[in-house]
């Protein structure tokens, strides 16, 4: 038996950052290596995502995962014992076949993803390398540009404001570490401004400030003030990234902005966003229109795609076929990469490969329900994706990931290349 042969797989029921149960998988190998990984969970989900298996019923709001945990221990483990963890593609193919459904509804994407990632960690340990190096080899030197949430809204903050994520990016920072330094000051400044104005209600699911604005645009204005107060030049040193998460308030070409009590059609949404783009230094915009509004997505991309990032999340759901179709239709130019939207690492990587093939940029992303798991940081580095979005700057399930990237940047030393300017070449 090879030292990377799987000798045991255990499912464990643990808890995520929203206080909901989630799945942890532990994979052990013949040579003594061990990998652990935990599944995250989204709140603003696309209808094409692979699905978590939840128990339903009354316990923990129906979010319990006893069935998914049992699937790991009772079904996946026996099917993978004796399998070589170093063969990720083969292992994931087995998981896909064992599940047998298009969206992992039988075993649960939370079960399959935890095992897929835990096996990757174990295989890397058996090979004597951290996962990022194991995946990317000597070429893995690109430190991602972080997209960091300053204000949270939408489904992550009781729908108090319609737009979900107000983030900053620091393309002019010289390193990942410096980008975090800058963002920490901006995060603090934003909190101080909102407190002074009596607009601070707490923090949202990903740790960004939970605001009490009475128009969505106030968030943009606050963000610009915060960038300035922290001592940076908005637009030149620090830019704004938005996740509109429009699927959450739009369907069938109608968009309902609850905060402002108005409803817009696709053209109205596009006009509103173009107005914001003209007035604020926005360099990246995710899900500007709903997942079902393909024409709107293409029209918006035609307007602005040559000068900024148009990111598909709910629309593309980390799916290679959808990415190719979107490219053919001229919709979006960047894909959000979320492993649990597919349920295995191999399918996630296939989406990133498709993105590169069609000339799209990528952003590896966490979910709004997270844990201490840092696998996505290793994927961003190992696959050379160039951007990383994991929420705010002030909650430990987020900081675990930013801090892991700092460790990797330190390990790379002089070989580290910060993606900053390069990935946003489109917008400058
Ligand atoms: O929409 C998103 O991009 C994510 C992260 O911000 O949210 P969720 O995990 O709730 O889908
Ligand atoms: Mg999103």
Is the shortest distance between the CB of 368 and ligand 1 below 6 Å?
A: yes
The whole-number pLDDT of residue 376 equals 98
**What spacing in Å lies between the alpha carbon of 96 and ligand 2's midpoint?**
25
The whole-number pLDDT of residue 72 equals 98
Give the residue ranges of the annotated binding site for (2R)-2-phosphoglycerate. 164, 338, 367-368, 389
Whose Cα sits closest to atom 5 in ligand 1?
A: 367
The whole-number pLDDT of residue 427 equals 44
- The pLDDT tens digits for 69-97 are 999 999 999 999 999 999 999 999 999 99
Q: Which ligand is nearest the CA of 391, by number?
A: 1
Q: Which ligand is nearest the CA of 42, by number?
A: 1
Q: ipTM more than 0.95?
A: yes
The CA-atom distances, in angstroms, between 308 and each of 22, 232, 320, 367, 424 are 36, 21, 22, 23, 8
**What spacing in Å lies between the alpha carbon of 158 and ligand 2's midpoint?**
16
Q: Are 222 and 280 in contact (CB under 8 A)?
A: no
The CA-atom distances, in angstroms, between 173 and each of 96, 417, 422 are 41, 12, 12
- The pLDDT tens digits for 162-181 are 999 999 999 999 999 999 99
- The conformation of residue 144, written as its DSSP 8-state character, comes to P
Q: pLDDT band for position 155 (50/70/90)?
A: confident
Is the shortest distance between the CB of 43 and ligand 1 below 6 Å?
A: yes
Q: Residue holding tokens 């190719």?
A: 324
**Three state DSSP letters for 257-322:** ECCCCEEEEHHHHHHHHHHHHHHCCEEEEECCCCCCCHHHHHHHHHHHCCCCEEEECCCCCCCHHH
Q: pLDDT band for position 425 (50/70/90)?
A: low
Examine the pLDDT at 285 and tell me if it is beyond 50: yes
Examine the pLDDT at 15 and tell me if it is beyond 70: yes
Whose Cα sits closest to atom 1 in ligand 1?
A: 44
Mean pLDDT across 135-148: 98
Is the shortest distance between the CB of 42 and ligand 1 below 6 Å?
A: yes
Examine the pLDDT at 428 and tell me if it is beyond 60: no
Examine the pLDDT at 150 and tell me if it is beyond 90: yes
Mean pLDDT across 9-30: 98
Choose which residue among 40, 42, 50 to substitute to test ligand 1 binding: the one with the highest number of ligand atoms within 8 A of its C-beta: 42
Q: Are 152 and 165 in contact (CB under 8 A)?
A: yes
The whole-number pLDDT of residue 158 equals 82
């Amino acid at each position: 038996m090879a030292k990377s042969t799987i000798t045991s797989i255990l499912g464990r029921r643990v808890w995520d950052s929203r206080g909901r149960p989630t799945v942890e998988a532990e994979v052990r190998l013949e040579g003594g290596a061990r990998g652990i990984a935990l599944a995250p969970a989204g709140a603003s989900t696309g209808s094409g995502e692979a699905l978590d298996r939840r128990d339903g019923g009354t316990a923990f709001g129906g979010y319990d995962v006893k069935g998914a945990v049992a699937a790991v221990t009772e079904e996946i483990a026996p099917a993978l014992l004796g399998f070589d963890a170093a063969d990720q593609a083969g292992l994931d193919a087995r998981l896909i076949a064992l599940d047998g459904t298009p969206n992992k509804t039988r075993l649960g994407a939370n079960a399959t993803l935890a095992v897929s990632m835990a096996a990757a960690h174990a295989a890397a340990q058996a090979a004597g390398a951290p996962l990022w190096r194991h995946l990317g080899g000597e070429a893995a030197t690109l430190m991602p540009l972080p997209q960091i949430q300053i204000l949270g809204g939408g489904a992550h903050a009781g729908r108090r404001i319609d737009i979900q994520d107000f983030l900053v990016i620091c393309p002019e920072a010289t390193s990942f570490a410096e980008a975090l330094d800058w963002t920490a000051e901006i995060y603090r400044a934003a909190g101080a401004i909102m407190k002074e104005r009596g607009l601070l209600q707490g923090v949202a699911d990903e740790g960004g400030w939970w605001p009490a604005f009475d128009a969505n645009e106030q968030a943009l204005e606050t963000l610009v003030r915060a960038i300035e107060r922290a001592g940076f030049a908005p637009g030149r040193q620090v830019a704004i990234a938005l996740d509109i998460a429009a699927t959450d308030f739009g369907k069938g070409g109608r968009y309902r902005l609850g905060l402002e009590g108005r409803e817009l059609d696709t053209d109205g949404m596009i006009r509103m966003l173009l107005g914001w783009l003209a007035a604020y230094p926005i360099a990246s915009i995710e899900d500007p229109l709903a997942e079902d509004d393909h024409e709107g997505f293409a029209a918006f991309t035609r307007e602005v795609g040559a000068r900024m990032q148009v990111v598909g999340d709910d629309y593309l759901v980390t799916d290679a076929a959808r990415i190719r179709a979107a490219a053919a239709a001229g919709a979006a130019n960047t894909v959000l990469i979320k492993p649990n939207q597919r349920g295995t690492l191999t399918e996630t990587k296939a989406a990133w490969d498709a993105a590169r093939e069609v000339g799209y940029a990528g952003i590896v992303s966490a979910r709004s329900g997270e844990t201490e798991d840092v696998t996505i940081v290793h994927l961003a580095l190992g696959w050379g994706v160039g951007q990383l979005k994991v929420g705010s700057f002030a909650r430990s399930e987020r900081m675990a990931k930013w801090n892991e990237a700092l460790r990797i940047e330190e390990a790379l030393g002089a070989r580290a290349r910060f993606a900053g300017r390069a990935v946003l070449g489109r917008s400058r």
